[in-house]
Chain A
């Protein structure tokens, strides 16, 4: 269990969503942010552990941190300048 001090602008609850919807919903949520703002994503799809870093890397967004909390996976994504 990891405590984080990152302050999120918005929270996306993607619990129960299956591949590839966590990434799809994350992309939509991040588009609504301004550069520098942070999205907190809560997911249960284990594929997200590989998908979210890959998505962030290919879209110019930054995965600040991720950790597991029980059955959920929590990600913090900072919107990049070009998305």
Chain B
């Protein structure tokens, strides 16, 4: 077991690319199930996936639907960080995002990544 591991997963693809949008959630789900601390970072169109009501509309073949994955990730302690300029440029505010999503800026992402065991970018 050893020290607590932390995985940062950056998501840059939105609902128009269901497979690339779903794979980071699948990885995050497996990680939280494995007792790994998970921070998901949403940038670009990726931030649309944590807009209320969107995850439930995304499903990629042979993967679990995104809505259930998101729910499980939050339930098992995963954190959702969303890029502030990306949110603003899409006309969104924190009220538009799912419960638990936190709007942050670049320095926070850098801090999370540099303190993580590993990071993945999708």
Q: Are A19 and B33 within 8 A (Cβ)?
A: no
In Å, the complex CA distance between A83 and B62 comes to 29
In Å, the complex CA distance between A55 and B1 comes to 12
Q: Are B35 and A59 within 8 A (Cβ)?
A: yes
- Name A's interface SS: helix
B11 proximal to A (CB < 8 A): no
Minimum distance in angstroms from A35 CB to a CB of chain B: 14
Interfacial chain B residues near A59, Cβ < 8 Å: 34-35
Give the bracket for the number of chain B residues in contact with chain A: 10 to 19
In Å, the complex CA distance between A21 and B32 comes to 11
Chain B residues close to A by CB (< 8 Å): 1, 26-27, 29-30, 32-35, 62-64, 68-69, 72, 75-76
Contact digits for A69-83, partner B, Cβ 8 Å, 1 yes 0 no: 000000000000011
Chain A residues close to B by CB (< 8 Å): 17-21, 23-24, 26-28, 51, 55, 58-60, 82-83
A-B contact pairs, 13 of them (CB 8 A): A17-B64, A19-B63, A20-B29, A20-B30, A21-B69, A23-B34, A24-B69, A24-B72, A24-B76, A27-B76, A28-B76, A51-B30, A60-B1
Q: Are B35 and A24 within 8 A (Cβ)?
A: no
Interfacial chain A residues near B26, Cβ < 8 Å: 19-20
Q: Are B35 and A26 within 8 A (Cβ)?
A: no
Minimum distance in angstroms from B48 CB to a CB of chain A: 22
The one of B1, B33, B35 in contact with A20, judged by C-beta atoms closer than 8 angstroms, is B33
The one of A21, A51, A82 in contact with B1, judged by C-beta atoms closer than 8 angstroms, is A82
In Å, the complex CA distance between A21 and B29 comes to 8
